[in-house]
């Protein structure tokens, strides 16, 4: 079972569609991993994203599950230490003790860099995190957690992963009655991200 934000190795250029850009072929040809994205795929396949060196270089594709040779989940990166000194990595060092009792992981550029050793972060990079929340997180607790994240040396984007999708902590901690829940079937405005979308 693969989940959004997992990194997968094993995709080959032959798995890419004919319209794939040259940079995506080069990335896959170099053996870099792809990231699982929230989208529906045929049985036996998983929706993935190929990431290039530039921010706008993102390409959606599907990968046969049988081709997966290695999988790294966001939680596996929590204790990985980078020798580089960047705001996102300093933020990560600051927040590790705050999140220590939770089930959390690192996604986005920081997760990609920590998993591969390929430099993906720069001085302006945000820190993308994922918090597994199988049980409902009280909105007051969400506000408290957001206040702690906002003391970090860079912007921190934390997604709450509920059984039904993901919602931004910043939204759940805010005043809106309804928040955007992202799931494989699309984005839905909901009042409770811990309830099934019907």
128 flagged as catalytic: yes
126 flagged as catalytic: yes
Dist CA 37 CA 46 (whole Å): 8
Residue ranges in the chain assigned as alpha helix (H): 22-29, 87-99, 108-116, 139-149, 169-172
Dist CA 186 CA 180 (whole Å): 10
In tens digits, the chain (198 residues) has pLDDT values of: 899 999 999 999 999 999 999 999 999 999 999 999 999 999 999 999 999 988 889 999 999 999 999 999 999 999 999 999 999 999 999 999 999 999 999 999 999 999 999 999 999 999 999 999 999 999 999 999 999 999 999 999 999 999 999 999 999 999 999 999 999 888 999 999 999 876
pLDDT of residue 56: 87
Task: Looking at the structure, tell me whether residues 147 and 126 fall in a common domain.
Answer: yes
Catalytic residue among 6, 85, 128, 144: 128
Task: Looking at the structure, tell me whether residues 143 and 182 fall in a common domain.
Answer: yes
Task: Answer whether residue 195 is part of any domain.
Answer: no
Domain boundary among 35, 51, 72: 72
**Does residue 77 sit in helix, strand or coil?**
helix
**Does residue 79 sit in helix, strand or coil?**
coil
pLDDT of residue 157: 97
Exposure string of 124-163, with b = 16+ CB inside 10 Å and e = fewer, is ebbbbbbbbbeeebeeeebeebbeebeebebbbbbbbbbe
Task: Looking at the structure, tell me whether residues 80 and 30 fall in a common domain.
Answer: no
Q: Provide the residue range defining the domain that includes 31.
A: 7-72
pLDDT of residue 198: 66
The alpha carbon of residue 127 and the mean position of all alpha carbons in its chain are separated, in whole angstroms, by 10
Domain boundary among 57, 72, 87: 72
Catalytic residue among 85, 126, 150, 192: 126
Task: Looking at the structure, tell me whether residues 23 and 102 fall in a common domain.
Answer: no
Task: Looking at the structure, tell me whether residues 111 and 16 fall in a common domain.
Answer: no
> For residue 21, which phi and psi values (nearest 5 degrees)?
-70, 160
Task: Answer whether residue 197 is part of any domain.
Answer: no
């Amino acid at each position: 079972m693969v989940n959004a934000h997992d990194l997968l190795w094993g995709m080959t250029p032959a798995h890419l569609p004919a319209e794939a850009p040259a940079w995506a072929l080069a990335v896959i040809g170099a053996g870099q991993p792809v990231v699982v994205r929230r989208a529906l795929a045929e049985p036996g396949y998983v929706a993935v994203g190929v990431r290039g060196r530039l921010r706008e270089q993102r390409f959606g594709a599907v990968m046969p599950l049988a081709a997966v040779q290695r999988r790294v989940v966001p939680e596996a990166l929590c204790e990985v230490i980078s020798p580089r000194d960047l705001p996102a990595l300093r933020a990560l060092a600051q927040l590790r003790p705050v999140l220590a009792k939770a089930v959390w992981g690192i996604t986005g550029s920081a997760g990609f860099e920590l998993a591969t050793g390929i430099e993906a972060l720069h001085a302006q990079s945000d820190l993308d995190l994922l918090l597994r929340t199988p049980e409902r997180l009280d909105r007051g607790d969400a506000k408290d957690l957001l206040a702690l994240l906002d003391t970090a040396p860079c912007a921190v984007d934390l997604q709450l992963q509920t059984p039904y999708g993901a919602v931004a902590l910043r939204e759940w901690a805010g005043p809106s009655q309804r928040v955007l829940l992202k799931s494989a079937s699309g984005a839905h405005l909901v009042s409770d991200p811990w309830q099934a979308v019907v």
